[in-house]
C-alpha cells in the first residue's frame, strides 16, 4: 500500500492521503463518502457497511478504476476519518466489516465542511505537482444537525470557495437523506441542500436492503461518471436516483 501523509487544513481539519510523490497517474478523481453514525442509525449499521463494500466492488469495475481515490468518514457528535484518500485498488472491502462506530449526536454541518475542506487541501497538493483532479462527495444522514461547531452558512462559504479555486477541475456534492418519511427531516435536508448550494439531494426513505442496494448502484455509477468526465473541463451530469 502506498505511504499515507498527514495533512492539516487551514480550518484545522486533520486528514490523510497518499504521498503525492507515490502517485503514478497524471489525473485522479477523489471520492469521499461521509456516513452519519449517530445513535439513530444503529438499526442499519451492518446494512450500510455492506452498502459501502458493494460501492467499492462496483467501482473496481469502472473503466478508470486506476484513477480513483476514496476517502471514508463518519460523524456523530464529532467527525472522524476512517481512512484517508487511498487508491481504490489498495482498499480491501473486508476492511469495512464493523468499521462504523455508532453513537452520539449529529454534526452534519461540520462533517460536510470537513469533507470539502480536506478535498480542496489535498487537490492543492496534487495541483502543485501537476496532477489534475476532480471530486465527488456523498453525505449520508438521517437527521438534522444538533452538534456542529459551524453553522450551515459556513458550508455554503466553502462550497463557494471550491467553485472559485482553480485546484479542482470540478466538484459535486450529493446529500443522501434517510428520512423514513419524516416531513420535518425532509424539509430540513431540502433547505440545507438549497441554502448551502449542494449539487443534489436525494431521499431514499428507509434504509432497508432494497434502498441501500439502490444507493450503492447510484453512488458507484456517479463516481464512475465523474471519473470519466475528468479532463473534459466540466462536471459530470447528475444521475437520477
pTM listed for this prediction: 0.97
Average pLDDT over residues 159-185: 94
Residue 1 predicted with pLDDT over 70: no
Please state the separation of Cα 216 from the chain's center in Å.
13
| Rounded distance between C-alpha atoms, residue 227 and residue 225, angstroms | 5
Residue 97 predicted with pLDDT over 80: yes
Residue 201 predicted with pLDDT over 90: yes
pLDDT for the residue numbered 130: 96
Of 24-38, 112-126, 176-190, 222-236, minimum mean pLDDT range: 222-236
User: In the chain, what percentage of residues exceed pLDDT 90?
Assistant: 88
Of 5-9, 79-83, 117-121, 137-141, minimum mean pLDDT range: 5-9
pLDDT for the residue numbered 237: 86
Segment holding 187, helix H or strand E: helix 183-196
Q: Is 234 left (phi over 0), alpha (psi -120 to 50) or beta?
A: beta
pLDDT for the residue numbered 70: 97
How confident is the model over 23-65, as pLDDT tens digits? 999 999 999 999 999 999 999 999 999 999 999 999 999 989 9
Amino acid at each position: 500500500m502506498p505511504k499515507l501523509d498527514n495533512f492539516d487544513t487551514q480550518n484545522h481539519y486533520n486528514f490523510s492521503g497518499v504521498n503525492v510523490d507515490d502517485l503514478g497517474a497524471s489525473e485522479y478523481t477523489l471520492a469521499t463518502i461521509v456516513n452519519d453514525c449517530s445513535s439513530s442509525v444503529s438499526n442499519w449499521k451492518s446494512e450500510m457497511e455492506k452498502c459501502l463494500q458493494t460501492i467499492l466492488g462496483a467501482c473496481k469495475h469502472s473503466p478508470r478504476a486506476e484513477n480513483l481515490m476514496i476517502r471514508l468518514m463518519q460523524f456523530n457528535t464529532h467527525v472522524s476519518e476512517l481512512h484517508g484518500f487511498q487508491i481504490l485498488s489498495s482498499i480491501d472491502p473486508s476492511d469495512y466489516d464493523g468499521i462504523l462506530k455508532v453513537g452520539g449526536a449529529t454534526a452534519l454541518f461540520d462533517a460536510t465542511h470537513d469533507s470539502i475542506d480536506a478535498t480542496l487541501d489535498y487537490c492543492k497538493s496534487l495541483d502543485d505537482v501537476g496532477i489534475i483532479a476532480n471530486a465527488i462527495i456523498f453525505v449520508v444522514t438521517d437527521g438534522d444537525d444538533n452538534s456542529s461547531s459551524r453553522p450551515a452558512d459556513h458550508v455554503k462559504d466553502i462550497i463557494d470557495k471550491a467553485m472559485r479555486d482553480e485546484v479542482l477541475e470540478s466538484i459535486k456534492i450529493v446529500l443522501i437523506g434517510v428520512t423514513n418519511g419524516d416531513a420535518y427531516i425532509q424539509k430540513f435536508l431540502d433547505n440545507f441542500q438549497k441554502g448551502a448550494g449542494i449539487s443534489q439531494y436525494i431521499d431514499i426513505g428507509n434504509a432497508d436492503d432494497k434502498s441501500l442496494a439502490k444507493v450503492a448502484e447510484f453512488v458507484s455509477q456517479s463516481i464512475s461518471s465523474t471519473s470519466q468526465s475528468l479532463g473534459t473541463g466540466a462536471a459530470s451530469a447528475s444521475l437520477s436516483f
